[in-house]
Structure 1
Amino acid sequence: MEVRAIIKKWQPGMKAFFSTFPWKNVLALLFFLVLAFIFWLMLFFQKENVEGTYRIPLKYTNIPDDVVFDNPLPPFLEVSVADNGAQIFRLDMRKRDSLEINVTEITEGGNKVLQGNQYEQLIRSQLFPGTNIRGYYPMSISLATSKLQRKELPVVFDGEITTSRANLVADSATFIPEVVMAYGSQQSLDKLKGAVTEYTVFKNLKATSQLPIRINNVGGVKFVPSQVDIYIPIQEYTERTFEVPITVTHMPARLDVKFFPSRANVTFSVTLEAYRKIVPEDFSIELDYRKFHSNEDGRVELELTDRPSSVINPRISPASVEFLFESKTER
């Protein structure tokens, strides 16, 4: 209410102010300002020897895999130019593409430094034909390289894979390609047993996926390729439970054993395809008398001794049972 009262109080004054404001004078002033700018722009376009300085990104291509540069490569070029105003204006408005430096082509014949006429011709490809080059930095680019040793390494995954509910990873993740080439000094390569990926988390995967993943950087070592694809097979799973009897081996002929309970529940995950093919007889919980007969607490841990290879994450409940030995009666 207080804000509305203030607005209501000032509203008549604001209306009176804008109704008496000299809009015609303001519009006339803006018109002359625009006109002055247009005249200035025309004079600028006709002016000769207008200078400008531009930063051009550098892009290095066709670099041999088995070499490393002896000196850091500059990421961009600073060039100072002069031309008439119209051309300078066009350069200002123009989107500058990267200046491509073809390393293999330039270093053919033993040339290790980009400089002189060869360098200027590349720079001119980014300018207009009549534009004068006043100067540029760096004046030269060293493309000297040293030969590297190489070693083939298997790709190793570092990260986590989780699936959405009712889905599981059906098999181990694989890589495309499975091996990469590492280039570096012999000392650096001797320390590497595998090309480890960057730590990556793949969350809530719902279907078989092929995803890009980068190889983790190692100082002084170059991996080719530096990025691979990880193939993660995902299948839809369901959970099932069977009741399995507890049996025992190597029992003395004079003894019987009773377990409490005598059966255990085995819960497991299985693909929908294999769901109907699995029966309780595929599982066994078999205990060895020699391993538990001396347990003083009268309990024994259960262990699943046989199961189909297609089941995943089997669990036994209860995890342990009580046992009691009885002597057999002679007949």
Structure 2
Amino acid sequence: MSAKKSIRQIKRLGKKAKAPFPTKEAFVFLSFLIFSTLLWFLYKVSHVQELKVKVPIEYVGIPNNVELVGKLPKTLNVQFKDKGSALFTYILKQELPPFKVDLTGQFKGTGRISLPTNKYEGQIFYKLKPTATQIHIAPDSLIINYYSLYKKVVPVRFYGYIQPAQQFIITHGISVSPAFLEVYGNKQNLDTLKAIYTEPIHLKDVKDSVNSEFYLKVPRGIHLSQPRVKVHAAVEPFTEKTLEVPVTSINLPDQYLLRTFPATVKVICVVGISHFKTLTSESIQAVVNYNTLSRINAGKARIQVFSTSSDLIRYHVSPETVDFLLEIKK
């Protein structure tokens, strides 16, 4: 009789014990039941018993450029013998800790891998009690069918939003690292794939810089060289800085001289507090574009602002238009 069948027998006897008896008779019956159960238990723990357990498989070393055909076996059925005192440990666990199947270097082009399971007896024995003997593993081999995939490098895009709290600002935009990623798939899927996006990221009321890893959204039929990327956004309080900038001209024919009234304008800049001192008027240009001068609104020119500084978040200029006078050079 196996250990599992013996336990089921105890449960049936226990149910019978619940049937109504006169108090004295019930006491005598229960006493004999407990005594016989103890005798049965002592007999079982002193003899070798047979048991079957499932051992989970953990596969490692599967490259990203390989597509598996069908599902891999998740467990192995292990049958062995051990002392009865040890079997109750296995009955409570039902499954042993997983063991690793390392497939590194096994994949070559397209084909089939056959791994005899008896090569893993050592790993499985290590997870059993030292008294275990006569181990048998089923199935006798692991069969893995596969084929190789094509490779392509695509950009990684941020998807979602990072919303700073009031009086805070993102100073240099949102960046993703790495910016490009190797992906694998069949030729048809790769031809239509233009970019890989992060899972939707929605962050509100942000007061500190974001520098965290987020998972990528994996298109169907595509394998990624890595599952996550790092998203960075520098968040800090902002302030305003007013700069006096001289007005210059662009696209002006050589024979002309442009004079503006006033000769300078104020550029009110929004900048992160850490860049307040580094932002200067030398990095900003206020220009009048000769090609945009309107004949209809003669004498008025709109100011355009250009900046070479990445610290400038946004700006507005005052005044937005200036009077101008075109003179022919002498």
| TM-score, length-scaled by structure 2 | 0.62
- Residue 104 of structure 2 aligns to a residue in which SS? helix
Aligned residue in 1 for 2:38: 39
CA distance 1:103–1:286, shift in 2 (3 Å): closer
**Correspondence 1:91 to 2:90:** yes
**How many residue pairs align between the two structures?**
291
Q: Which residue of 1 aligns with 2:230?
A: 229
Q: Return the alpha-carbon distance in structure 2 between the equivalents of residues 212 and 276 of structure 1.
A: 32
Structure 1 range deviating more: 61-70 or 92-101: 92-101
Alignment of 1:155-170 (within 5 A): 155-164=156-165, 165-170=167-172
Rounded to whole Å, the distance in 2 between the matches of 1:268 and 1:157 is 27
Q: Could you tell which deviates more after superposition, 65-74 or 268-277?
A: 268-277
Q: Distance in 1 between matches of 2:276 and 2:106?
A: 64
Partner in structure 1 of residue 113 of structure 2: 112
For the structure 1 residues 148 and 310, does the alpha-carbon distance in structure 2 shift closer, same or farther, using more than 3 Å as the test?
A: closer
Q: Secondary structure at the match of 1:54?
A: strand
In structure 1, C-alpha distance between the alignment counterparts of 2:47 and 2:242, rounded to whole Å: 92
Q: Aligned in 2, Cα 1:238/1:245: closer, same or farther, shift over 3 Å?
A: same
C-alpha displacement of 1:268: 3.4
Cα 1:98–1:135 shift into 2, 3 Å: closer
Residues 308 and 70 from structure 1, CA distance in 2 versus in 1: closer, same or farther, beyond 3 angstroms? closer
Deviations 1:23-79 (A, max 9, x none): xx9xx99x9799669827833742646554534322101123322212221333454
- Secondary structure (helix, strand or coil) at the match of 1:144 reads strand
Amino acid at match of 1:39: L
Letter in 1 for 2:309: S
Q: Which runs of 5+ in 2 are unaligned?
A: 1-23, 325-330
Change (3 A) 1:284 1:120: closer
Distance in 2 of aligned mates of 1:195 and 1:37: 68
Partner residue of 2:102? Answer: 102
Equivalent residues in 2 for 1:111-150, closer than 5 Å: 112-115=113-116, 117-118=118-119, 123-128=124-129, 130-132=132-134, 136=138, 140-150=141-151
Secondary structure at 2:305 match in 1: coil
> Relative to 1, partners in 2 of residues 1:188 and 1:50: Cα closer, same or farther, differing over 3 Å?
same
C-alpha distance in 1 between matches for 2:107 and 2:289: 74
Q: Which residue of 2 aligns with 1:181?
A: 182
- Counterpart amino acid of residue 178 in structure 1: A
Q: Residue 160 of structure 2 contacts residue 200 of structure 2 at CA under 8 Å; is this kept in 1?
A: yes
TM-score of the superposition, structure 1-length normalised?
Answer: 0.62
Change (3 A) 1:160 1:303: farther
Identity of aligned residues (%): 20
SS in 2 for 1:88: helix
Alpha carbons 2:172, 2:310 under 8 Å: kept: no
Q: Give the aligned residue type for 1:91.
A: Y
For residue 143 of structure 1, what is the amino acid of its counterpart? I
* Equivalent pair of 1:54/1:80 in contact (CA under 8 Å): yes
Quote the residue 2:13 is aligned against: none
Number of the residue aligned with 1:15 = none
* Cross-structure match for 1:64: 63
* Distance change (3 Å), C-alpha of 1:44 and 1:268: farther
Structure 2 match to 1:305: 305
1:163-204, Cα deviation, whole Å (9 max, x unpaired): 3442424244130x3332212222222222233222223444
Change (3 A) 1:89 1:168: same
